[in-house]
Amino acid sequence: MLPTQIDRVSVADQVATVLRQRILDGELRPGTSLPEVPLASSLGVSRNTMREAMRILSLEGLLKRNLHRGVTVSQLSVRDVQEIYQLRRMLEIPAVLAAKGAVSQHANANFRSDLQLALEQYQAAIRASDWVRAVSFDLQFHTILIRLHRNQRLQSFYQKVIGELRVGMVLVDRGHDNPGALVPVHAEIYELLSSGKLKQCARALALHLDDSELRLTRVMNGEISKTNGRLVT
């Protein structure tokens, strides 16, 4: 039984990867309904496999299950963005301020190397104009900061919250007038944190979050339905 279970999970992961890419590439737009049976048939998988793939993407915040509409691609309102960034400030900034000594502790021996790797991968994705990968590594960079709280449940909660921003952030990066300017901001946060300048790091992070929220809100306001207040990309 064990090999069969492993294979089934593997297929579900592959289906989740296909759907994730379609969502982040804009092929599946926010609010799009995803009926299980036709979608499973189109990809040549079972309904159970499709259901598991959708569960994976729901945990990432890319899909939402609604009692009346079934499963749809997540669709954020401006209010949703405000609430998510409020949570980001509540979690990320205290994490940085609590970092004294934590970066050098044995339990966080890989923290700096992981943060640096995420930064380098982010830089490479920006240079390649690969916005989907850029957003992925951007979110990975910020997720690593949450490790400073040393709270596994908080990390899981944060990943769910920030996952809801993926589609919107891809839109922001694609439309950014100078996306390369985002790299020095992350590099500054990394350098200040590494050198123990925590208050300066917290200020830089706060400004970065303010700018990120403002840009996403502007993108949404330019592509928003006046009738329902939802993003209609």
The pLDDT tens digits of the residues spanning 178-192 come to: 777 889 999 999 999
Distance from CA of residue 3 to its chain's centroid? Answer: 32
| pLDDT value at residue 167 | 76
Q: Minimum mean pLDDT among 94-108, 140-154, 155-169: which range?
A: 94-108
Name the CATH code of domain 78-222 (choices 3.40.50.2300, 1.10.443.10, 1.20.120.530, 3.40.50.2000): 1.20.120.530
Where is mean pLDDT largest: 6-10, 107-111, 148-152, 204-208?
204-208
Specify the DSSP element, H or E, that contains 7: helix 2-24
Q: Encode pLDDT of 74-91 as tens digits.
A: 888 889 899 999 999 999
Q: Encode pLDDT of 201-226 as tens digits.
A: 999 999 999 999 998 888 778 754 33
| pLDDT value at residue 181 | 82
| pLDDT value at residue 77 | 86
| pLDDT value at residue 99 | 87
Long-range contacts of 179-186 (CB under 8 A, 24+ apart): 179/126, 179/129, 179/131, 179/134, 180/126, 180/127, 182/126, 182/138, 183/122, 183/123, 183/126, 185/211, 186/119, 186/122, 186/138, 186/141
Tell me which architecture the domain covering 2-73 has in CATH: Orthogonal Bundle (1.10)
Tokens standing for 58?
A: 């729901």
Inter-CA distances, 121 with 72, 84, 108, 116, 136, Å: 30, 25, 20, 9, 10
Task: Pick the more confident residue, 108 or 96.
Answer: 96
What gap in Å lies between CA 60 and CA 49, rounded to an integer? 17
Confidence of residue 227 (pLDDT cuts 50, 70, 90): very low
| pLDDT value at residue 204 | 97
| pLDDT value at residue 230 | 38
Task: Pick the more confident residue, 112 or 189.
Answer: 189
Confidence of residue 193 (pLDDT cuts 50, 70, 90): very high
What gap in Å lies between CA 214 and CA 78, rounded to an integer? 10
Report the chain's mean pLDDT, rounded to a whole number.
84
Q: Encode pLDDT of 1-57 as tens digits.
A: 445 454 455 799 999 999 988 887 778 888 899 999 999 999 999 999 999 999 999
* Structural Rg of the chain based on CA atoms: 19
Q: What's the whole-model pTM score?
A: 0.76
Spatial neighbors of 146 by CB under 8 A, at least 6 apart, are 91, 92, 95, 154, 155, 158
Domain ranges of the chain: 2-73, 78-222
